[in-house]
Amino acid sequence: MKKKVTLSFILFTLLVVSNQIIFHFDIKRQSYDAEIINKAGKQRMYSQKLTKDAFFASNAKNTDSFEDKMLDFRETYQDFKIGNYYINNIVLKFYNNQDLNDLYKENQSYYKNLEDASSAILNDIHNDTLFVKSVKTIRDNENGFLVSMDKIVEEYQKMSEIKVNKLQQMQLLFHAASFLLLLYVLFFIIIPIFGRETKSIV
């Protein structure tokens, strides 16, 4: 009987601890997924703002506000670069998903055009011909970048849903195991104990 009680206690402890560990890691995963989707959303915003700032700076040529407009453009470009570095050098290593890698390759072709055009503007702000050409390049690539980034966000959401479904299945297994353990305790420990006590009283 002692062995049965000990075994039941060990199994119960393992179930509880395992469930808590999985729950803890799932909370962290959900938080990480939400952060990545938020980063991707910011990249969309930065690409739109980059186009807007480039357009405003182009229109402000030879005016007193040109330097301020260029400062806005430079800051947006830096934020855009930092966000892209984070997603490509940190996120992709964590997920290791081929579909995601393919989507990022498509996205990076648009990003590279945006980056090159932005750098060209910042490196030679007084070259009017280059400025106009680079602004056009930025505008031409903005929509492609946005569409590809939307696909990336959709892929993250799909991956997150798959993980949630797997977690739900594991939770069902834990509940089933807990129920079976309770039945074991009831029929092989509690009932036999009460049976012995009843016999001893008689």
DSSP H helical ranges for 2-127 = 2-59, 66-86, 92-95, 98-123
- Cα–Cα distances in Å, from 87 out to 91, 143, 185, 198? 5, 19, 50, 68
Q: Residue 200 and residue 75: Cα distance in Å, rounded?
A: 85
Average pLDDT of 89-103? 77
Give yes or no for residue 90 having a pLDDT over 70. Answer: no
Residue of 138, 120, 119 lying closest to 129 (CA atoms): 120
**What is the rounded distance in angstroms from the CA atom of residue 86 to the CA atom of residue 36?**
9
Question: What does the alpha-carbon distance between residue 112 and residue 118 come to, in Å, rounded to a whole number?
Answer: 10
Is residue 153 within 8 Å of residue 41, measured between CB atoms? yes
- Residue range 86-93: mean pLDDT, rounded: 73
Query: What single DSSP character describes residue 187?
Result: I
Would you say residue 3 has pLDDT above 80?
no
Structural contact between residues 97 and 110, judged by C-beta atoms closer than 8 angstroms: no
Average pLDDT taken over every residue of the chain: 86
pLDDT tens digits along 97-110: 888 889 999 999 99
Domain boundaries defined on the chain = 45-180
Single out the residue of 71, 77, 70, 88 nearest to residue 46, CA to CA.
77
CATH classification of 45-180, choosing from 1.10.10, 3.30.70, 3.40.1350, 1.20.120?
1.20.120
| 61 alpha-carbon distance from chain centroid | 40
Q: List, for residues 25-58, the tens digit of each pLDDT value.
A: 777 777 777 888 888 889 999 999 999 999 999 9
